[in-house]
């Protein structure tokens, strides 16, 4: 029998995955809340996303089970939420789950009163009683019984929880000056203390990439000159690039490493990881000029162009960790698309290519997953590709040149890539999220600058055009959250505005199309209107909504940076570009509102500290006067892009409309002209300019003193 519930009319791939569960799921909204009130039932809220491995497991074990579904339908109003579609709902209840259980994750399972107050929650629940803990069916019956027999206690618990959450979210800007030097040093010290000196990364397994850490370490190195900051970042980025978290055949980063050695991955691929890690590798390339980091960025960007890009220009959200091991297999398995039997490799490649490939990528007859990374034996006999040894070590073993080895490996990768493409592919979450597209636009725009690659600029422009066309309302200046077969009916959140503004500012510096600055300024004004806390400062995550208990101000820079951190950075950048003291003041107030948390846990907000370092640095304008496509102009621009100067604004003045707009805001630009018919560079610190130069070497000399 095929069931169809009320999720069938939704756009979200995650909700649609559950449309045929026997559970009477409803989407988040007044219809579900009214039914809970009318039937006097508690709400079971399940939050996840379409590429979530443990969400699939709980669905298979519980939500597809007719016995469990009967209990759910009899005693609860059941609501499904896609956390990527409604991050405001997710964040409120995740804060509750983390506060009451000490951990969080997805699937998130929360029980609410009809007034939406949470009173019990957790993450994944197994279907049966295990190890002294109740299974999901037992838990459902226990909570249903408590609702019937001890209603007052349950409701009181929910009310008290909401009051505690309200107290936690109340922040007031501090008036006194903060000890910024000590805060920066304390953040750095924490990263030093948690750094894994052997394998790279921070903390113990599982190891999650957190690109905001690299943002901070790169800027701290530039500020303090502490080489250890650079070394920690580079060792970690090399480990990620060499490890199983990096798809060695097709490009793109998986979500995290299960083991400390970066071999076994959790195999889903998220757009926000690709975007942020590309920027980390680009910055490391600027800092070290090691081609490995540039090549890593290129491979990831090419993966996004190949597999994660909508034909009209936007970028898709994610690829699943799970897939069918064969077309006839009954169930999907984690990593099935990516792992290898040694026999398959030996069959596909001739000798000595097969042996050489196996040596380089750590392929073993018994499989190569370390026990720590495979506690349940899911990958027994399977191999995850990772660079187990160096190119030079393989070359020495096979008495070949490193170039010859790399040529053989390249051909082998192509052969296996084509073979892998015949397997059932993981599910693609093809919704286009505004915030994540903003991050990816930044990555492509910065890659176009650092790598001098025009097609990356085109990708960034096409994505921005897509967002403008499909998700932006020109009449109101507002955005929508995401697109899938048309724009969704969800208004954008603070991170959508903040991340897109950053992308547009990066896109301007790659293209010098002033319309991107104008759009960024307009979106910033909308963000200030919709999300700014006039009483205390800082940005709420969401606009007022009667069905969301709390308007929270995100401060944690985690897998994604917080909207407040990026908004503060944007305000400083726009202030430098457009000489707007009001935006600079908003950035300063945003920093002050999180003062107490910055003092006590600065390592939780490294991107906000990047905003502080930007705000404290004197404005640096690198102005190139020249014809846009002339060789001498491009040479000076490449020079401006190749060094790590995190607080710079690069401008091209050519006497066109863009320059006229800037002349009104930054009058000192009006006098900047080409010298003797040659492209000319002006390096200006705090609006005081050095002597103009026309040669690349002279510009390099000035920039070497600019940091």
pLDDT tens digits along 37-50: 999 999 999 999 99
78 lies in some domain: yes
For 620-640, give one letter per residue: b (16+ CB within 10 A) or e. bbbbbbbeeeeebbbbbbebb
Instruction: Tell me the chain's radius of gyration from C-alpha atoms.
Output: 26
The DSSP 8-state label assigned to residue 625 in this structure reads: E
Alpha helix positions (H), 119-245: 136-149, 151-169, 180-194, 211-224, 227-242
State whether 153 and 300 are in the same domain: no
133 and 210, same structural domain?
no
Residues 260 and 380 in one domain: yes
Instruction: Say what the pLDDT of residue 194 is.
Output: 98
219 domain-assigned: yes
Is 378's pLDDT higher than 90? no
What is the predicted pLDDT for the residue at 154?
85
Output the six-digit token pair for 22: 């026997």
Model's pTM, two decimal places? 0.95
**Average per-residue pLDDT in the chain?**
94
Q: Is the pLDDT of residue 356 over 90?
A: yes
Mean pLDDT value of segment 587-615: 95
CATH of the domain at 664: 3.40.30.10
Which pLDDT tens digit goes with each residue over 479-496?
A: 999 999 998 889 999 999
Phi, psi of 273 (to 5 degrees): -65, -45
173: pLDDT confidence band, cut at 50, 70 and 90?
low
Say what the pLDDT of residue 262 is: 97
Whether residue 154 lies inside any domain: the answer is: yes
Q: Which helix (H) or strand (E) holds 82?
A: strand 77-82
149 in any annotated domain: yes
Residue 707 has a pLDDT of 65
- On whether the CB atoms of residues 208 and 559 are closer than 8 A, the answer is yes
Say which residue, 437 or 628, is predicted with more confidence. Answer: 437
Of 181-195, 481-495, 658-672, give the lowest mean pLDDT range. Answer: 658-672
Strands 256-257 and 472-473: unpaired
- Residues ≥6 apart with Cβ < 8 Å to 167: none
| Sheet strands side by side (includes 77-82) | 25-27, 77-82, 43-48, 108-112, 118-122
Band (455; pLDDT cuts 50, 70, 90): very high
pLDDT band at 248 (very low <50, low <70, confident <90, very high): very high
Containing 479, the helix (H) or strand (E) segment is: strand 478-479
Give the total number of structural domains in the chain. 3
User: In terms of domains, do 252 and 163 share one?
Assistant: no
Identify the pLDDT of residue 37. Answer: 96
User: Quick one: 212 and 150 in the same domain?
Assistant: no
* Strand-pair partners of 78: 25, 44
Q: Cα dist. 415→39, 195, 394, 525, 644 in Å? A: 60, 38, 20, 51, 37
pLDDT at 176: 77
pLDDT category, 304, cuts 50, 70, 90? very high
Q: Are residues 136 and 256 in the same domain?
A: no
- Asked whether residue 241 falls in the same domain as residue 317, the answer is yes
Give residue 131's pLDDT.
60
pLDDT in tens, 569-588: 999 999 999 989 999 999 99
Sheet containing 648-653, strands listed edge to edge, beginning at the edge strand earlier in sequence: 648-653, 620-625, 680-685, 688-689
Of 429, 461, 490, at which residue does a domain stop? 429
Structural domain contains residue 610: no
Model confidence over 532-551: pLDDT tens digits?
999 999 999 999 999 998 89
Assess if residue 140 is contained within a domain: yes
CB 206 within 8 A of CB 256: yes
Please tell me the distance from the alpha carbon of residue 19 to that of residue 698, in angstroms, as a whole number. 64
Q: Is the same domain home to 106 and 217?
A: no
Examine the domain organization and report whether 407 and 305 are in the same domain: yes
Alpha-carbon torsion, ordered 276, 280, 283, 289, to 10 deg? -130
Closest CA to 105 of 84, 82, 127, 124: 124
Measured between alpha carbons, how far is residue 176 from residues 287, 478, 603 in Å? Answer: 35, 35, 21
Cis peptide preceding 95, ω within 30 of 0: no
131-140, 187-196, 249-258, 352-361: range with lowest mean pLDDT: 131-140
The predicted pLDDT at position 657 comes to: 62
Among residues 91, 88, 70, which one has the least CA distance to residue 23?
A: 70
Mean per-residue pLDDT, 624-650: 94
In a domain, 70, yes or no: yes
State residue 651's pLDDT score.
93
The mean pLDDT value for 257-261 works out to 95
**pLDDT value of position 290:** 97
Backbone angles phi, psi at 364, to 5 degrees: -130, 150
Structural domain including 692 reads 618-707
Are residues 250 and 369 both part of a single domain? yes
* Contact between 91 and 562 (Cβ < 8 Å): no
DSSP conformation class of 335: T
- Is 640 a member of any domain? yes
The dihedral over CA atoms of 295, 301, 304, 310, expressed in degrees to the nearest 10, equals: -150
**Percent of the chain surpassing pLDDT 70:** 98
d(CA 173, CA 594): 7
Taking the C-alpha atoms of residue 521 and residue 355, their distance in angstroms, rounded to an integer, is: 57
In this predicted structure, what is the pLDDT of residue 20? 97
Question: Which of these three, 429, 461, 482, is where a domain ends?
Answer: 429
Same domain, residue pair 238 and 352: yes
Contact assessment for residue 83 and residue 24, using Cβ atoms and an 8 Å cutoff: no
CB 135 within 8 A of CB 125: yes
Same domain, 150 and 235: no
- Tens of pLDDT along 73-124? 999 999 999 999 999 999 999 999 998 888 899 999 999 999 999 999 999 9
Q: How many CA atoms lie within 13 A of 132 on its CB side?
A: 0
Residue, of 413 and 689, whose pLDDT is higher: 413
Phi, psi angles (nearest 5°) of residue 469: -75, -40
Sequential DSSP letters for 394-446: HHHHHT--HHHHHHHHHHHHHHHHHHHTTSPPPPEE--EEHHHHHHHHHHHHH
Contact 603, 610 (CB under 8 A): no
Cβ neighbourhood burial of 356 (10 Å; 0-12, 13-18, 19+): buried
Of 365, 397, 429, which residue sits at a domain end? 429
């Amino acid at each position: 029998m095929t069931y169809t519930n009320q999720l069938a009319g939704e756009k979200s791939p995650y909700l649609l995955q559950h449309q045929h569960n026997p559970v009477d799921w409803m989407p988040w909204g007044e219809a579900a809340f009214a039914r809970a009130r009318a039937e006097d039932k508690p709400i079971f809220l399940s939050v996840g996303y379409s590429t979530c491995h443990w969400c699939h497991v709980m669905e298979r074990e519980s939500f597809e089970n007719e016995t469990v579904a009967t209990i759910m339908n009899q005693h609860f109003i059941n609501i499904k939420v896609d956390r990527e579609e409604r991050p405001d709902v997710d964040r409120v209840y995740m804060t509750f789950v983390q506060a009451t259980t000490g951990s969080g994750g997805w699937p998130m399972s929360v029980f609410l009163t009809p007034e939406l107050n949470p009173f019990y929650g957790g993450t994944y629940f197994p279907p049966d009683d295990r190890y002294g803990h109740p299974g999901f069916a037992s838990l459902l019956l226990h909570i249903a019984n408590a609702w019937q027999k001890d209603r007052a206690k349950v409701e009181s618990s929910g009310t008290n929880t909401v009051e505690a959450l309200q107290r936690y979210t109340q922040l007031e800007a501090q008036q006194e000056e903060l000890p910024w030097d000590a805060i920066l040093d304390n953040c750095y010290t924490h990263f030093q203390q948690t750094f894994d000196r052997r394998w790279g990364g921070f903390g113990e397994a599982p190891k999650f990439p957190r690109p905001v850490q690299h943002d901070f370490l790169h800027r701290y190195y530039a500020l303090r000159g502490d080489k250890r900051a650079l070394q920690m970042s580079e060792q970690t980025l090399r480990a990620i690039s060499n490890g199983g978290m990096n798809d060695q055949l097709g490009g793109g980063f998986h979500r995290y490493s299960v083991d400390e050695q970066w071999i076994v991955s959790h195999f889903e691929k998220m757009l926000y990881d690709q975007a942020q890690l590309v920027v980390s590798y680009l910055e490391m390339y600027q800092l070290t000029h090691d081609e490995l980091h540039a090549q890593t960025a290129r491979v990831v960007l090419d993966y996004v162009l190949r597999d994660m890009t909508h034909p009209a220009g936007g970028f898709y959200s994610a690829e699943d960790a799970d897939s069918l091991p064969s077309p006839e297999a009954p169930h999907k398995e984690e990593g099935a698309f990516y792992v290898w039997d040694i026999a398959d490799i030996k069959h596909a490649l001739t000798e000595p290519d097969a042996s050489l490939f196996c040596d380089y990528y750590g392929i073993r007859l018994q499989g190569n997953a370390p026990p720590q990374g495979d506690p349940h034996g899911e990958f027994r006999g399977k191999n995850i590709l990772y660079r187990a040894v160096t190119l030079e070590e393989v070359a020495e073993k096979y008495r070949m040149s490193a170039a010859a080895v790399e040529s053989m490996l390249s051909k082998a990768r192509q052969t296996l890539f084509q073979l892998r493409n015949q397997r059932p592919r993981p599910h693609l979450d093809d919704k286009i999220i505004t915030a994540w597209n903003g991050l990816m636009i930044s990555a492509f725009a910065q890659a176009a600058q650092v790598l001098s690659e025009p097609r990356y600029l085109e990708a960034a422009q096409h994505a921005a055009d897509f967002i403008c066309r499909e998700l932006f309302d020109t009449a109101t200046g507002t955005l929508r959250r995401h697109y899938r077969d048309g724009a969704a009916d969800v208004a954008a959140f603070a991170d959508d505005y903040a991340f897109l503004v950053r992308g547009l500012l990066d896109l301007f510096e790659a293209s010098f199309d002033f319309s991107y600055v104008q759009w960024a300024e307009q979106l910033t004004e909308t963000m200030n209107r919709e999300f700014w806390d006039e009483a205390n400062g800082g940005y709420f995550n969401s606009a007022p909504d009667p069905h969301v208990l709390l308007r929270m101000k995100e401060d944690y820079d985690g897998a994604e940076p917080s909207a407040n951190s990026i908004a503060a950075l944007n305000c400083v950048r726009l202030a430098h570009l457009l000489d707007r003291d009001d935006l600079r003041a908003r950035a300063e107030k945003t920093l002050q509102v999180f003062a107490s948390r910055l003092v006590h846990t600065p390592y939780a907000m490294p991107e906000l500290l990047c905003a502080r370092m930007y705000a404290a640095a004197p404005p640096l304008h690198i102005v190139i006067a020249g014809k846009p496509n002339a060789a001498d102009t491009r040479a000076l621009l490449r020079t401006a892009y190749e060094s790590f100067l995190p607080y710079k604004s690069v401008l091209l003045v050519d006497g066109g409309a863009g320059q006229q707009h800037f002349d009104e805001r930054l009058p000192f630009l009006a006098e900047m002209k080409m010298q003797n018919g040659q492209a000319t560079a002006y390096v200006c610190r705090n609006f005081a300019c050095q002597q103009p130069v026309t040669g690349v070497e002279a510009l390099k000399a000035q920039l070497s003193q600019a940091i």
